[in-house]
């Protein structure tokens, strides 16, 4: 199964995850908004939230908490990347 076929399978949930991320990071602080856009539009595969969504589907979950869980997983992953950049004194992400 290709990544594209997986993305098609969870398209609606993934769209909801993106919206959850952008909504959670709405702020008067410009940098916070930029971080949200980076998470959603950076072009990464975002395997971790995909796995969460697929697990929910495989388990027959019918609620919406898997959307929040997938967004939180992406927040944690992004935070670890940013932390690593700070520790490494990186100029780029």
- Return the residue matching tokens 């935070």: 79
First to last CA, the chain: 30
Structure tokens at 39: 């998470």
Which of 32-53 are b and which e, b meaning 16 or more Cβ less than 10 Å from the residue's Cβ? eeebbeebbeeeeebeebbebb
Spatial CB neighbours of 67, under 8 Å, sequence gap ≥ 6: 13, 16, 17, 20, 53
pLDDT tens sequence across 22-62 = 999 899 999 888 888 888 888 788 899 999 999 999 999 99
pTM of the complete model: 0.82
């Amino acid at each position: 199964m290709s990544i594209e076929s997986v993305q098609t399978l969870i398209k609606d949930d993934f769209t909801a995850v993106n919206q959850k991320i952008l909504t959670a990071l709405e702020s008067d602080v410009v940098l916070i908004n930029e971080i949200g856009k980076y998470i959603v539009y950076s072009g990464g595969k975002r395997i971790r939230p995909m796995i969460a969504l697929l697990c929910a589907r495989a388990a027959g979950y019918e609620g919406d908490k898997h959307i929040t869980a997938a967004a939180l997983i992406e927040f944690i992953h992004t935070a670890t990347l940013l932390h690593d950049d700070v520790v490494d004194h990186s100029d780029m992400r």
